[in-house]
A and B are shown apart, each in its own frame.
Chain A
Amino acid sequence: MFDEMQDSAGAVRPAYAELKDWLGHIPPDVLDYRRREAELLFRRIGITFAVYGDPEAQERLIPFDVIPRIIAAKEWDIVRRGLEQRVKAINAYIKDVYSRREILKAKIVPEDLVFQNPVFRPEMNGQKVPHDLYVHVAGIDIVRVDAETFYVLEDNARTPSGVSYMLENREIMLRLFPELFSRYRIAPVENYPDELLATLKSIAPTSAPGEPTIVLLTPGVHNSAYYEHSFLADKLGIELVEGRDLITKSDVVYMRTTEGLKRVDVIYRRIDDDFLDPLVFRPDSALGVPGLMSAYQAGNVTLANAVGTGIADDKAVYSYMPAIVKFYLDEEPILKNVPTWRCREAEHLAYVLDHIEELVVKEVHGSGGYGMLIGPKEDKATIAAFRAKLKSDPKNFIAQPTLSLSTCPTCVEEGIAPRHVDLRPFVLAGRDRIRIVPGGLTRVALKKGSLVVNSSQGGGTKDTWVLDE
């Protein structure tokens, strides 16, 4: 097991030296007091998320751990270059899939994986999007297993969330521990909203005025990420709209304002493809805007991210990502993929069924830690049930080894103890360049030995410090 603070002999890694020293000096009751102060702050600011299917907990706090996670400048440099490369490849791949389909012709990605995929959008075939960019905001989940190796665990190319926690965690840490900050030089993250705004401006349709009107489209207050939507709209200084605030006329999108209709040029949408436009996708969607797709196809409005990006972040497509990077960029992938068995392939399925007790099996379209099996943690009955599910629909699953995720020191009931973490950095792809704010959202599994970091499954978050030198 790789601990980010100290090696197996107990020697402290250089980046953590000051933190370790600080932890040794701060009285436990002060740390505890700060913890409670942080929780109070979060609750008062209203940073909550909803857990679906739990009516009692309509608004819940994500536990926040006050001990920061530290990434050295050199380490971050690898991650950053890897992220840029990956997002470039993802954009090239989506463009290809909806136009010339070279990668399918070259038999690198199997056709049925694209065409039979429910997230493939035939409406996007041959559709031109501004500047050939499809994914403008990506959240790439990364885990670390040893000093050198970072794996990409998952690409999120649709509507990734969590960036508000990255920003608020830093704000709260600055408020609570100014002294600790003075011991380090930490790269700031507070410019993320500016970078996002610059990205969104850069992708406006060419017909839009010099200062395009940008809005953030939310499904509404009941969405689990609603806090983040309102937070971002506020920081960006753009209107937070719901579907009912928008209307289309002659393929132009307008919002209803107190002064009448106002034209909209770019929509940063945090609502899934399925719900965007009831005339094209789910007809029962009350969240979307009738006519939006038509306006989009006419090139009168930019959607960020584009429609149909799901074909790039599907867990089955994931296993082809190294090949995708090579195909479009002719480069070796800087960030590795976790070795993945595709249950759609007979030999892989056989292997998975034989070794299910040691593997993590995931649904291809699942997210949030739902619908997955962690072999080593489950009892025989659960495994047997899952095995049956797997056999009946192998295409729907992939499997990976149970990774030994790195650990970071974390405040838990018994004091400070190592807990497993992952990292979701956010990548912004604009017309001019790719922007990445150093850091991201570190999620931590608070239960001892647990590898599930998802907030819906009891995970917490940490501030992530990328050192500036």
Chain B
Amino acid sequence: MLSRTADNLYWLARYVERAEYLARILDTTLRLTALPLAYVGSSNEWESAVATAGCAKPFFAAYSEANEETVTEFLAFSTDNPSSIRSCIETARINARSVRTALTIEMWDSINSAWLELRKWGNGPPSREEFARFLRWVMGTSLSFDGSAYRTMLRNDAYWFSRLGVYIERADNTARILDVKYHLLLPAQEQVGGPLDYFQWASILRSVSALTSYHWVYRQNVKPWLVADLLMLRDEMPRSLAHCYENLVQNLDRIAKAYGRQGPAQRHARTVRARLENSKIEEIFQTGLHEFIDDFVEDNNRLGSAVAQQYLL
């Protein structure tokens, strides 16, 4: 398969995944800001949303204040922000168009329809209700795209490269939530306790659609170290770092088998996965949650470069 095709498939998957992630962040933020201040504290949730999306720098270059209006515009509809939901969908479609032949008709239909639909939303919906509808639509689009890939693509290198895009992006997103919110998860916070943190923890879980899963996995109240455990080390949680790396290793191995050659990308992914498998959440808290996440983000980026070096250039 052409390197450029693999590259386009990889980025197509990443952009769709990113659009969904942004929608989740905004959805969670809307919920948090709808609660009375007494429940969530006086932190600026909109500012935190921008940080979680990883675009604090460009945001504050464009706006002086983070509030509902500015953040919604920047993260969802801005054409200046290359990582806004709109830009993600547009870029995803450009990538899709360049690899029409590598997509199934269902995948193309899903991304092309999303792109056509996007125009109807203009520069932002008129009300909060409409905006919530928009966010649900974005999440639905990602589900439909991912579902059509899963159900219709041949299981060959095209599929495996698109999976690499999904999981590298997803691992990055989950790590970023942890990076911004890690202070809420530190054990010291437990004593502070109270409803304030509960809603924050719940919102972290919600932003990775894991609030219900949490209860099924742990069968107890929301506790910060368990939230961290779920998001980082639990294989069964689809957005956990461990799950992402399980899939990255698997898909990289399939590619290596098909091409008859292992390389740096495979070795690096296995190393990261082994570290996640061998870690206990207690130890991570002892040695430093923040440092662990920082290292992970860097490792994840390194995997992205290794994949590009080995296959996409």
Give chain A's interface residues, CB within 8 Å of chain B: 43-46, 220-221, 226-227, 230-231, 233-234, 239-242, 244-245, 255-259
Contact = CB atoms under 8 A, between A and B. Distances in A.
B3 interface: yes
B157 interface: yes
Contacts of B100: 46, 227, 230-231, 234, 240
A234 B101 contact: yes
A259 B157 CA distance: 10
B97 A256 contact: no
A257 B113 contact: no
A257 B3 contact: yes
Interface in B22-39: none
Interface string B1-16: 1111110000000000
Nearest to B258: A259
A43 B116 contact: yes
17 contacts: A44-B109, A44-B113, A44-B116, A46-B108, A221-B94, A221-B98, A227-B100, A231-B100, A233-B101, A239-B5, A256-B4, A258-B3, A258-B6, A258-B161, A258-B259, A258-B312, A259-B1
Contact of B97 (A46, A242, A245): A46
A241 B2 contact: yes
B112 interface: yes
A259 B108 contact: no
B113 A258 contact: no
Given A46-B100, A221-B98, A234-B101, A257 B112 contact: no
B29 to A, nearest CB: 33
A255 B3 CA distance: 9
A257 B101 CA distance: 15
A245 B312 CA distance: 11
B112 A46 contact: yes
Residue among A220, A226, A227, A258 having the largest count of chain B Cβ atoms under 10 Å:
A258
Contacts of A230: 97, 100-101
A372 B6 CA distance: 44
Nearest to A239: B2
B113 A255 contact: no
A244 to B, nearest CB: 7
Contacts of B4: 242, 244-245, 256
B311 A258 contact: yes
A7 to B, nearest CB: 44
Nearest to B94: A221
Residue among B3, B108, B112, B311 having the largest count of chain A Cβ atoms under 10 Å:
B3
A256 B116 contact: no
B313 to A, nearest CB: 8
Nearest to A231: B100
Contacts of B313: 256
B9 to A, nearest CB: 10
Interface in B110-153: 112-113, 116
Identify the 9 closest CB pairs spanning chains A and B, nearest first.
A230-B100, A234-B101, A258-B311, A256-B3, A258-B6, A233-B101, A259-B259, A258-B1, A46-B112
Contacts of A221: 94, 97-98
A256 B310 CA distance: 12
Nearest to B5: A239
Interface string B258-290: 010000000000000000000000000000000
Interface of B: 1-6, 94, 97-98, 100-101, 105, 108-109, 112-113, 116, 157, 161, 255, 259, 311-313
Residue among B5, B105, B312 having the largest count of chain A Cβ atoms under 10 Å:
B5
Residue among B98, B311, B313 having the largest count of chain A Cβ atoms under 10 Å:
B98
Contacts of B109: 44-45
B112 A256 contact: no
Given A221-B97, A233-B101, A240-B101, A44 B2 contact: no
Given A44-B109, A258-B6, A259-B259, 15 more contacts: A44-B112, A45-B105, A46-B112, A221-B94, A221-B98, A226-B97, A230-B100, A234-B101, A239-B2, A245-B2, A245-B4, A255-B2, A257-B3, A258-B1, A258-B157
Nearest to B260: A259
B7 to A, nearest CB: 9
Contacts of B94: 221
A154 B97 CA distance: 32
Contacts of B2: 239, 241, 245, 255-258
Contacts of A231: 100
Contacts of A259: 1, 259
A419 to B, nearest CB: 29
Contacts of A46: 97, 100, 108, 112
Nearest to B97: A221
A245 to B, nearest CB: 5
A55 to B, nearest CB: 14
A163 to B, nearest CB: 16
B1 A257 contact: yes
A240 B5 CA distance: 9
Nearest to B157: A258
A330 B94 CA distance: 52
Nearest to B1: A258
A252 B6 CA distance: 24
Residue among A227, A234, A257 having the largest count of chain B Cβ atoms under 10 Å:
A257
Contacts of B259: 258-259
A220 B98 CA distance: 8
Nearest to A242: B4
Nearest to A230: B100
A245 B2 CA distance: 7
A240 B1 CA distance: 10
Contacts of A242: 4
A242 B161 CA distance: 20
Nearest to B6: A258
Residue among A43, A230, A234, A255 having the largest count of chain B Cβ atoms under 10 Å:
A230
Contacts of B1: 239, 257-259
A429 B288 CA distance: 71
B93 to A, nearest CB: 9
B135 to A, nearest CB: 24
Residue among B94, B100, B116, B259 having the largest count of chain A Cβ atoms under 10 Å:
B100
B80 to A, nearest CB: 18
A130 B248 CA distance: 47
Contacts of B161: 258
Contacts of B101: 230, 233-234, 239-240
Contacts of B113: 44
Contacts of B6: 258
Nearest to B115: A46
Contacts of B116: 43-44
Nearest to A218: B98
